[in-house]
Amino acid sequence: MNKKKFAIIGVAGFVATRHLNAIKETNNHIIAALDPKDSVGILDKYSYDIRFFTEFERFDRYLDKIKRKGKGINYLSICSPNYLHDSHIRYALRMGINAICEKPLVINAKNLDSLIALEKETGTKVYTILQLRLHPSLITIKEKYKNTKNTHEIELTYITPRGNWYDTSWKGDISKSGGITSNIGIHFFDMLIWIFGKVKHYEVHYTDNKKISGYLKLETANVKWFLSTDKNDLPTDNYKPYRNINIDGTNVEFSTGFTDLHTKSYEHILKGEGFGIKDASDSINLVHNIRNTKVIKPKKEHIHPLQIKKINTLKWNTTNTNRHSLTKM
């Protein structure tokens, strides 16, 4: 089989490694990389022959040149900051190249329209990484609840502490990352929708720049959710990320089995079976809506247990969207 040729946008961030590994492990080539940050010695682990650029325009010149020589790339892997994803995807499609983009495809759901239109115009395809759908434990769960008629009661808890750098970086700028729900929550929302069906109702109970919690009704599940980057929310002192999904009172174990999910994602994509814009749109819409809705004073029974502990210190204020909505008393 012919090796496929890849270029990658975004190499200095941590997620790039997973894409570089996936390209290597699926036995393909990385031939060019772009990042405005030049601390990318990591590339040497993959090949000494990767052309590296710190400016988009020079990267474009190179990709265009090899394309005109009949040696163009087949895929563009996109690991740039979230708010740049859609533009980098458009670049790939206009070049006639398929795009493989980290989550979330876009921050604002309406920007998916342009991508759908460009796919049609150019005959190319946008793939995204929804790796939890390839996780063995979660596939088992999906199977288990496939024909469920009941409504299941779920608690989703994800606490992954981050230092001050996170707030200073693009990840802490809601206009660039979409905030915590886009950055760390979207995979879980996608997974829940994938297993338990369409979103019927959503509400947000609390939000600040380090955490957000709320309630969600899907076709066959009610979900109390709590997402945090605040180390003080961790149940223990060991500062390891805490990830838990409790379904009808039972904890689901899925803290292992993550290591090669990007490689599995790439295998699917290379077989033409990768997840596309339509697969991603439900969770992107949900996260977009959560970002823009007002915080409400919820029914007590809908509040996530970790949130309810702090309830006496909170006063709900319903006039604003969730970013500015709660004042500590």
Interaction site with its own copies (CB under 8 A): 12-14, 33, 37-41, 43-44, 47-58, 60-61, 64-65, 68, 83-84, 86-88, 90-91, 94-95, 111, 113-114, 117, 161-166, 168-171, 231, 239, 317, 319-320, 324, 327
How many whole angstroms separate alpha carbon 131 and alpha carbon 123?
Answer: 25
Q: How far is the CB of 121 from its own copies (least distance, A)?
A: 10
Tell me the pairing of strands 199-207 and 29-34: unpaired
Question: 3-class DSSP state for residue 80?
Answer: coil
Of 91 and 202, the one with the shorter C-beta distance to its own copies is: 91
Q: How far is the CB of 161 from its own copies (least distance, A)?
A: 6
Q: How far is the CB of 193 from its own copies (least distance, A)?
A: 26
Of 36 and 305, the one with the shorter C-beta distance to its own copies is: 36
Q: How many residues does the chain have?
A: 329
Of 45 and 198, the one with the shorter C-beta distance to its own copies is: 45
Q: Are 308 and 214 in contact (CB under 8 A)?
A: no
Of 46 and 194, the one with the shorter C-beta distance to its own copies is: 46
Residue among 125, 157, 90 nearest 275 (CA): 125
Q: How far is the CB of 19 from its own copies (least distance, A)?
A: 15
Of 137 and 281, the one with the shorter C-beta distance to its own copies is: 281
Segments of the chain assigned E as strands: 5-9, 29-34, 51-53, 75-78, 98-101, 126-128, 152-159, 199-207, 211-218, 221-228, 242-247, 250-252, 314-316, 326-328
Question: 3-class DSSP state for residue 97?
Answer: coil
Of 37 and 299, the one with the shorter C-beta distance to its own copies is: 37
Q: Are 142 and 194 in contact (CB under 8 A)?
A: yes
Q: How far is the CB of 13 from its own copies (least distance, A)?
A: 5
Q: How far is the CB of 33 from its own copies (least distance, A)?
A: 7
Q: How far is the CB of 39 from its own copies (least distance, A)?
A: 5
Only one residue has tokens 């990709």, namely: 63
Residue among 101, 135, 122 nearest 277 (CA): 101
Distances (CA, A) of 199 to 194, 215, 218: 10, 11, 5
The two three-digit tokens of residue 67, written as one number: 């394309």
Question: 3-class DSSP state for residue 182?
Answer: helix
The two three-digit tokens of residue 329, written as one number: 């008393």
Of 68 and 146, the one with the shorter C-beta distance to its own copies is: 68
Q: How many CB atoms lie within 10 A of CB 62?
A: 17
Of 162 and 302, the one with the shorter C-beta distance to its own copies is: 162
Strand partners, 5: 29
Q: How far is the CB of 180 from its own copies (least distance, A)?
A: 15
Q: How far is the CB of 285 from its own copies (least distance, A)?
A: 18
Of 256 and 318, the one with the shorter C-beta distance to its own copies is: 318
Distance from the first to the final alpha carbon of the chain = 64
Helices (H) and strands (E) in the chain, counts: 12, 14
